[in-house]
Structure 1
Amino acid sequence: MYSYKSRIRYSELDESGHLRLESLLDYFQDCSTFQSEDLGLGVDCLKERHLVWVMSFWQIVVERYPNLGETVTIGTAPYDFKGFLGFRNFLMTDEKGDRLACANTIWSLLNTQTGMPVKAPEDMREKYILEPKLDMEYASRKIQISENMEQQEKVPIRPRHLDTNHHVNNGQFVKIAIDSLKSSGRIKQLRAEYKKQVVLGDVLTPYTMIETGNKTTVALKDGTEKVCCIVEFQEEGDQIK
């Protein structure tokens, strides 16, 4: 498994002094980016080939949120290719090697000139050495939403929401969803299903719904009421209120 070490920074903490969920997601995303760059398959390589990996699904399971200053190891490994889809695990451990969090992700490879999905080139498949799937409970990539959801404050898309692909970064979707919650307890699992790309100048409207089983679902819709992303949060204890 490709990995790197880091320390939890003050800027990454929530008000309780623990790592924020969205910061954990950023650690995982950075890890896969570092691996791709080190393999010569990074941003510049993809741009030359008119390719881009687009996130289709996140599942993050948290065992414990680390505290300020803790040294952590972040790792990632691809475990399968199916057509234009790539499957990748993530793992964060503490100094003792105990699991703090793990994740499953599904990515789609697109041709930026046509917007169509394409199969990963052979050299890419060779460099991304596949490893066994991480031992975790794998959730469905499809998230159901209800018609009876509560509309929240609209969010205009600003330059800070974008990444090098000039679209809203997958982590920013999650941050917008978190901000739409009035309050929340400690999240033990996140699922995010990405359905439509969003660009500068668009406006997202979050719609929220509290469900049974300590879950809250957030649907992020564009100006035409099309669903762009669905995020599901599951708490450790009480429901999100």
Structure 2
Amino acid sequence: MYSFKSRIRYSEVNERKTLDLSSVINYFQDCSTFHSEDTGNGIDYLTSQNRVWLLNSWQIIVYRYPVLFETIKVSTNPYSFKSMFGYRNFMIQDENDAVCVVADSKWIYLNSDTLRPVRVAESDIASYGLGEKIPMDYKQGNIILPEQRVSKEPFPVVPANIDTNHHVNNGQYIKMAENYLPDQFSIRQMRAEYRSAATLGDVIYPEVALTDTSCTVCLASENKKPYAIIEFIS
């Protein structure tokens, strides 16, 4: 399992001085890009091969949010590659190796020019190695989008939302969706599915469904085609 250590920064915490979910996701993204870079499969290499890994889905379970100034270890472990898909676990642990956050993720391998899926070759993944799946409550199937949803004010994609793939970064969708959480909603689990890529200048039309223990947010185009669907569970 590939790991790096860090210390929780003031810029990463919320008003309760705990790491917020967006920062958790940033740590996981950083960990996977560090891993790819250190195994020779980083951004520049993929660009030279006209290839890109795009995130298809997240499942994140939070046992405890690390607090300001706490030292943590962030880890990642690819455990399977099938056809054009890659599957990768993540974990955050404290100084005593207690698990704070775990995650599962599914990625799709694309030709960056055509944005069509490409079958993963052995040469693409040999340097990664495969590990065992970490123990967690894996959810099966797609997020069920509730029929009763409330439409919210649409908003444009801005330059700050865009990453090196020239699309809205997957973590940015989560930050957008968090704006619709009720006050005092504590996120203990999150699932996200990425259906299509929003780019600079697109307009996002949010729809929100609330229950006593969940908040489901659909971020869609004007014609109701979802860019991302995010389910928060308290």
- TM-score normalised to structure 2 length: 0.97
Could you list the per-position Cα deviations for residues 58-100 of structure 1 after superposition, in whole angstroms to 9, with x for gaps in the alignment? 0000000011000000000000001000000000000000000
The aligned residue for residue 232 of structure 2 is: 233
Q: What is the correspondence of 1:28-177 to structure 2 with a 5 Å cutoff?
A: 28-177=28-177
Residue 105 of structure 1: SS of its match in structure 2? Answer: strand
Give the counterpart letter for 1:226 in structure 2.
K
Give the counterpart letter for 1:55 in structure 2.
L
Percent same amino acid at aligned positions? Answer: 44
- TM-score normalised to structure 1 length: 0.94
224-233 vs 99-108, which deviates more? 224-233
Residue 54 of structure 2: SS of its match in structure 1? Answer: strand
1:230 and 1:163 map into 2 onto residues whose CA distance is: 19
2:107 and 2:84 map into 1 onto residues whose CA distance is: 8
Count of matched residue positions in the alignment of Structure 1 and Structure 2: 234
1:27 and 1:38 map into 2 onto residues whose CA distance is: 16
Residue 218 of structure 1: SS of its match in structure 2? Answer: strand
2:181 aligned with 1:189: no
Could you list the per-position Cα deviations for residues 136-177 of structure 1 after superposition, in whole angstroms to 9, with x for gaps in the alignment? 110125101123201122221011101000000000011100
Give the counterpart letter for 1:14 in structure 2.
N
Paired residues of 1:79 and 1:132 also in contact (CA < 8 A) = yes
Give the counterpart letter for 1:233 in structure 2.
F
2:21 and 2:120 map into 1 onto residues whose CA distance is: 30
The aligned residue for residue 239 of structure 1 is: none
Q: Which runs of 5+ in 1 are unaligned?
A: 236-241
Residue 31 of structure 2: SS of its match in structure 1? Answer: helix
The aligned residue for residue 224 of structure 1 is: 223
Paired residues of 1:162 and 1:169 also in contact (CA < 8 A) = yes
Give the root-mean-square deviation of aligned CA atoms: 1.1
1:88 and 1:25 map into 2 onto residues whose CA distance is: 13
2:3 aligned with 1:3: yes
Paired residues of 1:57 and 1:141 also in contact (CA < 8 A) = no
Give the counterpart letter for 2:214 in structure 1.
K
11-20 vs 175-184, which deviates more? 175-184
1:67 and 1:169 map into 2 onto residues whose CA distance is: 25
